[in-house]
Amino acid sequence: MGGRRATNGPEDLAARKRRARRIVAVLGDTYPDARCELDFTTPLELLVATVLSAQCTDQRVNAVTPALFRRYPDAAAYAAADRLELEALITSTGFFRQKAKTLQAIGLAVCDRFGGEVPGRLEDLVTLPGVGRKTANVVLGDAFGVPGLTVDTHLGRLARRFGWTEQTDPEKVEADLMELFPRKNWTMVSHRVIWHGRRRCHARRPACGACPVARWCPAFGEGPTDPAEAARLVRDSGRG
């Protein structure tokens, strides 16, 4: 892999674009199945699952949502839900009281202001209770096919490690990444980088010695560089 930094001295925007796009291309080869790891069939289901995923793994959310989606098939059902019953169905996702309150408020808002259908525009989605740009971009990208950058903890962390941004505020990170990638690729960029963050580029001990993009990463060496040691850190699947 080599231990050299990806850049020698200041990097202009054009060079950063080339390096960023090369990294994402290689991640595409590494994770050809990269996608949203929340199970859903409708925009509402994805919105609900994304709300539940806060401080919770996608695997846990996916274990809970089949029964939840059967019990509450539309926004009106969430709006009219018995709060205690709703809480009981989502208890294992953590922070269940606040999440139940948010889901009920979303159901009411979608019914009152959008005719019972989850809106497909960013400016509308972010007016819903508890929905910020990150959640809105998940729904837009994966339920509506509208490109969006989902700056969660993984994408933000890796964007800084890769030297794509120095920002910590998610909206500023998003703005910097918008400059690096064509709009049509934003959702794909999010999935590939998030998969890499969940499987190899961990927050505490990144698997640097088993990283397919190590040669282009300025942060190479933050984790073990020995291939055998690094390989033990690689996960077969994401954990949220």
Q: Please tell me the distance from the alpha carbon of residue 183 to that of residue 189, in angstroms, as a whole number.
A: 10
Give yes or no: 172 in active site: no
* Catalytic residue, candidates 152, 172, 176, 236: 152
Q: Give the count of beta carbons closer than 10 Å to the beta carbon of residue 193.
A: 30
CB-based burial of residue 11 (10 Å sphere; 0-12 exposed, 13-18 middle, 19+ buried)? middle
Q: Which residues have C-beta within 8 Å of that of residue 165, sequence separation ≥ 6?
A: 159, 172, 173, 176, 177
Residue 152 annotated as catalytic: yes
Q: From the candidates 101, 134, 172, 184, which is the catalytic residue?
A: 134
Q: Other CB atoms closer than 10 Å to residue 9's CB: what's the count? A: 5
SS3 114: helix
Active site residues: 134, 152
